[in-house]
Structures are given as C-alpha cells and as structure tokens.
Amino acid sequence: MDATGRVGDRDRDREGRAENQRPRDRYGRPLPHGSTEGIPRIPGDAVFSPEEGLNEAQRLLDDGYAFHAHEVLEAVWKNEPEDTRELWRGLAQLAVGLTHAQRGNRVGAARLLRRGAERVAEYGSDAPSGVDALGVARYGESVADQLDGVGEPVIDTSELRLRGDAR
C-alpha cells in the first residue's frame, strides 16, 4: 500500500478492504485515477439523518444521478435501527436498479427494482419518515415492467417521488 492508500491500481482502506473513491460519471462508473471531472463519491463513512437522506437522494434523482442517490440511501440504511433498515435497503436497491437501467443492464435492473419494491412495499402506507412506500414500490414495478418488455424504455429518475408530500 502506498501513501495514498492504493495497492496496485485499487484503493484500499487502512484495513486493506477495497475502497474506490475515484470520481464517477453520472451513471456511477469510475473515471481514471487523477480525473478532475466527474461526480465525487459520497464518503463511505457519511452519515445522513432520514430527512437529510431523503432530501439529498431526491435532489440527485431529480437530476438523473441514481447511482449517487443510491450511495446516500445506503448511508442512511447503514445507520438506521433494525426495524426500519429494510425500508432504506429497499430504497437503495431501487436507486441502484435505476443505475443499472441507465447503464443498459435491463435484466439486472428489473431484478433489483422488483426486489427493492417488494422490501419497500412491506412498510405500506405508514412508512416512517414520510416515505411513500406504496408509490415508490409502484414506480419500481412499473419501470421493471418496461425493462422486461419489448422496445426501449424511457428511464426518468425524476419521476420517482420518495415522499408523498414531494412536489
């Protein structure tokens, strides 16, 4: 490991685990080392309250950055208590499913979208933090149906509304 934490061409944390903090393109693909363009990663140790996470993830989704929204939702998921953790895991899966759709991986995207929609839907109309669990699940299933169908789906991440009171 060198002074920057890199081993060969991979970034590593102090314990030697893979940690890639290179800037990403809008779809979450890493750019070459030393790139000054791109979207910086959400740090692996970032902490967001549910409110902060929903606001930031929605902003990113509105701008078409599903991968980066996924990182925010994952940060909330990792810090939530057991009784709400699966909601946040499902939201993160929906966002990463959208990322796969944006990258053209229809099969993987549809699977992740359905898995995330199922997790989120379990919270029903009383989901915590004002999450519109049923609306989010419907959106995920709808996009998955498009991906499973014939023709080119139109993926507009700004149509995903995380809260019922949004907009």
User: How do residues 36-89 score in pLDDT, each as one tens digit?
Assistant: 788 777 787 889 999 999 999 999 999 999 999 999 999 999 999 999 999 999
Q: Does 98 lie in the same domain as 63?
A: yes
Tokens 């909330």 -> residue: 76
Compute φ and ψ for 94, nearest 5 degrees: -60, -45
Tokens 């994952």 -> residue: 74
Cα 50 from Cα 36, distance rounded (Å): 31
> Residue 2 contacts by C-beta under 8 Å, 6 or more apart in sequence?
none
Best CA proximity match to 26, nearest among 68, 75, 85:
68
Structural domains of the chain, count: 2
Q: Does 79 lie in the same domain as 142?
A: yes
Structural domain range at position 60: 50-159
As given in the structure block, the two tokens for residue 50 are 């549910």
Q: Does 20 lie in the same domain as 79?
A: no
Q: Does 62 lie in the same domain as 30?
A: no
Q: Does 112 lie in the same domain as 62?
A: yes
pLDDT in tens, 91-150: 999 999 999 999 999 999 999 999 999 999 999 999 999 999 999 999 999 999 999 998
Q: Does 117 lie in the same domain as 67?
A: yes
Cα 29 from Cα 51, distance rounded (Å): 27
Asked if residue 164 is part of any domain, the answer here is no
Question: With bands split at pLDDT 50, 70 and 90, how would you rate the model's confidence at 12?
Answer: low
Cα 115 from Cα 164, distance rounded (Å): 21
CATH code, domain carrying 95: 1.10.3450
The whole model's pTM is what? Answer: 0.83
Q: Does 120 lie in the same domain as 81?
A: yes
Q: Which stretch of DSSP H or E encloses residue 140?
A: helix 133-148
